């Protein structure tokens, strides 16, 4: 996909755009997917995000899909969990969306307690520590 994304050949760029369009379009049907296909699509979605194959606009849309899925129950939540696990180490690169995911992480506690714990640790070591530093600076200023 990366080669098609960066290709100088127009046809390859069109194929790349078509693949992304089809993947994004399938989001609305995820609740109908058998589990094995849902997992494959989620891993692909996460790998695309992890490997930064999306421009900023598409990245924002993809993150909105993931957060929406993560909030839900059932297969959509499974999709959100798998995607987050795929690009987990990249979450701090998207502070607003990571904050949103962190604030609703209790949604996954029952289905994936390890992810719940990992989100807490990652947040504390990245965004949480930044918030603590900002709070200290504000208190020192007053």
Please tell me the distance from the alpha carbon of residue 87 to that of residue 47, in angstroms, as a whole number: 7
pLDDT of 42 > 90? The answer is: yes
Q: Which residues of 29-65 are buried (b: 16+ CB within 10 A; e: fewer)?
A: ebeebeeeebeebbeebbebbeeebbeeebbeebbeb
Report the pLDDT value the prediction gives residue 131, as an integer from 0 to 100: 57
Give me the domain span that covers residue 37.
Answer: 2-141
Q: What is the pLDDT of residues 51-93, one digit of tens each?
A: 999 989 999 999 999 999 999 989 999 999 999 999 999 999 9
CA proximity to 92, closest of 42, 60, 128, 43: 128
Other CB atoms within a 10 A radius of the CB of residue 17 amount to: 13
Other CB atoms within a 10 A radius of the CB of residue 104 amount to: 13
CATH of the domain at 50: 1.25.40.840
State the average pLDDT over residues 103-110.
Answer: 92
State the average pLDDT over residues 98-124.
Answer: 94
Total domains present in the chain: 1
């Amino acid at each position: 996909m990366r080669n098609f994304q960066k290709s100088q050949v127009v046809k390859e760029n069109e194929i790349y755009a078509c693949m992304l369009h089809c993947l994004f379009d399938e989001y609305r049907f995820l609740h109908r997917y058998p589990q094995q296909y849902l997992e494959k699509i989620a891993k692909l979605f996460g790998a695309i995000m992890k490997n930064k194959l999306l421009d900023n606009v598409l990245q924002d849309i993809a993150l909105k899909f993931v957060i929406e899925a993560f909030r839900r129950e059932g297969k959509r939540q499974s999709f959100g969990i798998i995607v987050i696990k795929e690009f987990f180490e990249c979450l701090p690169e998207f502070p607003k969306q990571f904050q949103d995911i962190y604030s609703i992480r209790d949604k996954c506690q029952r289905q994936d307690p390890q992810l719940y714990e990992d989100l807490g640790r990652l947040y504390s070591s990245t965004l949480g520590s930044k918030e603590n530093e900002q709070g200290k600076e504000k208190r020192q200023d007053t």
